[in-house]
Structure 1
C-alpha cells in the first residue's frame, strides 16, 4: 500500500471506493496528513507540559505524550469521519457547530503548554519576582502576627539595663502609676466632653438649639459635674499611688534588681518560644513559595507578562491562535468541503451506501416472506395434526360406544335367558308339587344359551359335547342343573 492510500485511510476514506475514484486520493491523503500533524503537535505539547511543569523523566514524559497524541488523533478522526453531507448548507453548518466547539476546546488544551514553553525564560524571571513579593508579603504578615516579640525584646533590654545598673527606677514607669494615670486621662476626657456638651446646650448651638438655662442644659450640667467628680477622684487616686510608689522606692521596700531577676527568665522563655514558632513558619512559607512553580503559577506569570506589555500580549495571542488553527483545520476543511459540489468519491460512496441499503432491504423482505411461509406451513401442519387427532378421537369414541352397546345387548340377552330359566324352574316345581313327580313332563325345561367363554365350540345347540336341551348326544337324558 502506498503512503497516499495509507494517509487516505487514516482520514476515514474507504479503499474500495478510492480504487474507483483515484483523483480523490490526494485530497483524503492531505486530510490524513493534517490529522497526523495535529496529533504530533498534541504529543509534543503534552511532553513539554509533563517534563517542564511536572518534572517527569524524559522516558515517562515521552510515553505519556505519545498516548496523548493517539487520543487526540482518535478524537480528530472521529470528528472528521462523522461529518457527512446533509440536506443543505444550513443543516451542514448546524451539524458542524458542536464539532467545531469540541475542536476549539482541544486546541486550547494543546496550545497552552506550547505557549508556556516558548515563553519559559520570561516566565521563570517573573516567577522569581512573584516569589520575592510573596516572601515580603509573608514577612509583613509574620511581623503583624508576632508583634509580641518586639515588646518582649524591649522589656528584656530594660531588665538587662536594670541588672547592669544602667537604669534607675522611675515613678512614672511603675505599672500601678501607669494604670492610675490612664484612668485619670479617661476621666479627664469624659469631663471635657460633658462640659463642652453642657456649654454648647447653654449657648444654643447644639442639642435643643434654645439658648439659656433650661431642663436639657441642667441635665447636661449635672452630667458634667459627675464627670468632674470622677476626674477628681481619679486625680486623688493617682496622687495616692504616686506617693506610695515614691515612698516604696525611697524606703527600698522593693528593688528593681529583684524584680528584674524574677522577670527576666520568663521574658526570655516567651521570646525563645515565639522566635522558634516564627522561624518554623518562615521556613515552611519559604519552602512553599520556592516550590510554587506549577502550572497555575506559570499561567499567572504569563498573565502578568502580557497584562501591561502590548507586544507580549500580541505574541501570546498569535501563538495561541496558531496552534488553535492547527487543531481546527481538519474540522474546518471538512465543513467547507461539505458546502461545495459532490466529488466522484462522494457520489460513488453514496451509490454504494444506497445499493447496500437496497440489497439489505431486499434481503430483509425475502427473510420476512420466508418467515411468513414457514409460519403458514407450520400452521397448516398443526391444523392437519389437530384434524387427525380429532378424527382418531371420534373413531375411538365411536368404537367404544359400539362396544358398550354390544355389551349392553349381550347383558340383556343373558338376563332374559336367566329370567326364563328361573320361570321354567318355578313352573317345574309347581308342577311337581301339584300334579305329581311321577307324571311325565310333556315339555322339557329350556336351558339358557351362553356365549362361549372358554373357547368352546358353539354349533347346532352344543357346547363341549353337551346338548343345550338337557340331553346328551347319544339321546340319554342328563340331569337338570340348578341355575
Structure 2
C-alpha cells in the first residue's frame, strides 16, 4: 500500500516531502492521483479502440492502435497531472476555475470524440439492422431513379406499347362478344344482334368474316407488342436496369461488415429517431447519457481538485513558494547592492586617477 500511495501521489503531482508532513492529506491526494491515473488509462483504452476501429482490417492496425493508445493516454495523464498540480487552492474559487477552464473545455471535446467509437460498439447490433434498412432503401431509390430516367428516355416507345396493349384488351373483349354473337346466330338464339334463324346463313357468314378480321388484327397487335416489349427489354439490359436487384440477407450481412465509420455513425444518429421523424426516447437518452458519462469522466480529475477544500498541504506549499520567492528577491537585492558598491569603487578609483594626472600636469 505504501508503494501504491507513493505512485498515486506522483500521479497527483504533489511535492512528496511536503505531503509527508501532513498525514491528514495523504488519502485525499492518493484519491486525486488515482482519478488522474485511471482517466489516463481509460483514455488510452478508448484511443486504442477508436484507432483500431477506424483502421480495422489493416495489417498494422493492432500495433498502430496500441502505440496511439499509449501516446494518447500518456498525453491526457500528463495534462491532467500538470493542471491539477498547478491549481492554487489558496487563491479565490473564481481564479481556480479560470485555471481549470481550458482543461474543462478540452475534456468536453475529448469526451465527445472518444465516446463515439465506443457508442458504435455498444449499439453494434442495432446499427447493423439500421444499416441493412439504409442499404435496402438506398438500393430501392437507385432502382427508382434508373427506372425514372429510362421512362423519360424512352417515353414515346413506352407510350406506344401501352397504346397497343390497351387496343389489344379492347379488341379481345370485342372478339369474345363476337364469338358469342356468332354462336347465337348459328344456333338460332334471338337477340338484338341476331336473326333468330338456326343454321349457317348469310348473317352468320358476315359475322364470321368480321370475327376473323378482328382475330387477324389481334394477332398483328400481339406481334407488335412482342416486338416492342423485346425492344424495351433490350434497352433495359443495355442501360443496366435488369442487373439491379434487391440484395439478399447474405449479401446484406457481407456489405454491413464492410461498412465504414461514416455509415455507422449515420446509422447511430438515425437510431435516435423513429421512421416518422419523432424522437425515439429510449435510444436518444441512452446514447446521450453515454456521451455525457465520458465527458464527465474526462472532467473528473479537475473537478475533484476544484471540489476539494484547502488543507495543511496547500498552506505549506503556499508558504514554501512565498519563501522561495522572498529569498529570490532578497538575493536579487543583495546582488544589486554588491554591484552598486563595485560600481562606486570603480568610479572613486577613476576620480583619484584623474586627480593625480591633473596634479602631475600642473606641477
TM range (shorter): 0.5 to 0.7
Shift of 1:87: 4.0
Question: How far apart, in 2, do the equivalents of 1:385 and 1:139 lie?
Answer: 107
Q: Which stretches in structure 1 are left out of the alignment for 5+ residues? A: 159-263, 281-285, 396-483
Q: 1:79 to 1:130 in 2, by over 3 A?
A: farther
Q: 1:88 to 1:64 in 2, by over 3 A?
A: closer
Q: What CA deviation, in whole Å up to 9, does each residue of 1:262-298 have, x standing for no partner?
A: xx9xx99x95996269979xxxxx9xx9798333322
Question: How far apart, in 2, do the equivalents of 1:17 and 1:142 lie?
Answer: 77
Instruction: Between the two structures, name the one with larger relative contact order (CA 8 Å, sep ≥ 6).
Output: 2
Matching residue within 255, 260, 269 for 1:303: 269
1:61 aligns with 65
Is 1:7–2:8 an aligned residue pair?
yes
SS of match in other structure, 1:307: coil
Shift of 1:351: 1.3
2:25 aligns with 24
Matching residue within 348, 354, 377 for 2:345: 377
Question: How far apart, in 1, do the equivalents of 2:52 and 2:160 lie?
Answer: 53
In 1, are the aligned partners of 2:89 and 2:314 still within 8 Å (CA)? Answer: no
Question: How far apart, in 2, do the equivalents of 1:390 and 1:292 lie?
Answer: 100
Q: 1:98 to 1:324 in 2, by over 3 A?
A: same
The Cα RMSD (Å) is 3.6
Larger radius of gyration: 1
1:328 aligns with 299
SS of match in other structure, 1:2: helix
SS of match in other structure, 1:306: coil
In 1, are the aligned partners of 2:128 and 2:256 still within 8 Å (CA)? Answer: no
Shift of 1:91: 3.7
**Structure showing the higher helix proportion among its residues:** 2
Is 1:275–2:239 an aligned residue pair?
yes
Q: Which stretches in structure 2 are left out of the alignment for 5+ residues? A: 163-227, 245-251, 275-279
In 2, are the aligned partners of 1:149 and 1:274 still within 8 Å (CA)? Answer: no
Shift of 1:384: 2.6
Shift of 1:370: 0.8
Question: How far apart, in 2, do the equivalents of 1:320 and 1:106 lie?
Answer: 11
Is 1:142–2:143 an aligned residue pair?
no
In 2, are the aligned partners of 1:21 and 1:345 still within 8 Å (CA)? Answer: yes
Q: 1:316 to 1:388 in 2, by over 3 A?
A: same
Q: What CA deviation, in whole Å up to 9, does each residue of 1:402-430 have, x standing for no partner?
A: xxxxxxxxxxxxxxxxxxxxxxxxxxxxx
Q: What CA deviation, in whole Å up to 9, does each residue of 1:345-380 have, x standing for no partner?
A: 111111111111111111111011011111111212
SS of match in other structure, 2:272: helix
1:177 aligns with none
Shift of 1:310: 2.2
SS of match in other structure, 2:271: helix
**How many positions carry a matched residue from both structures?**
281
Stretch moving more, 305-314 or 143-152: 143-152
Matching residue within 308, 311, 314 for 1:346: 314
Shift of 1:38: 1.0
In 2, are the aligned partners of 1:127 and 1:298 still within 8 Å (CA)? Answer: yes
1:104 aligns with 108
Shift of 1:27: 1.5
Q: 1:34 to 1:301 in 2, by over 3 A?
A: same
Question: How far apart, in 2, do the equivalents of 1:295 and 1:81 lie?
Answer: 38
Shift of 1:73: 1.4
2:34 aligns with 33
Shift of 1:132: 1.6
Question: How far apart, in 1, do the equivalents of 2:270 and 2:39 lie?
Answer: 29
SS of match in other structure, 1:20: coil
